[in-house]
Amino acid sequence: LGRTVIVVDDGIATGGTVRVALKALRKDRAAHVVLAVPVAPRDTLALIKADVDEVVCLATPEPFVAVGRYYGDFAQTTDAEVIRLLREAEQFESKSSMRSAG
């Protein structure tokens, strides 16, 4: 409610899934919604722009084939990896906050 939300995806092809997520954020009254992706087709981004305040996309190749084509390794990230990385980020943030306060 009233916050800036940054939605990050590994890439967008059709945009169906991310559009549902973005609409849910609007329904929850996010103040500012940013979408950040490394790669997506231009026409899909044009549709999505109506659902966000800002889009950051590094590449919009033409012709767009598939998200995985633009990665050297497009292996899926496991839930365990995500949990571990979020915990590491939380610990890093906690240490950074303590340094700046001291």
Tokens of 29: 């009254």
For residue 39, list its beta bridge partners: 59
For the stretch 30-80, pLDDT in tens is 999 999 999 999 999 999 999 999 999 999 999 999 999 999 999 999 999
Question: What's the whole-model pTM score?
Answer: 0.76
Residue 36: name the closest of 65, 11, 63 by CA.
11
Domains observed in the chain? 4-72 (3.40.50.2020)
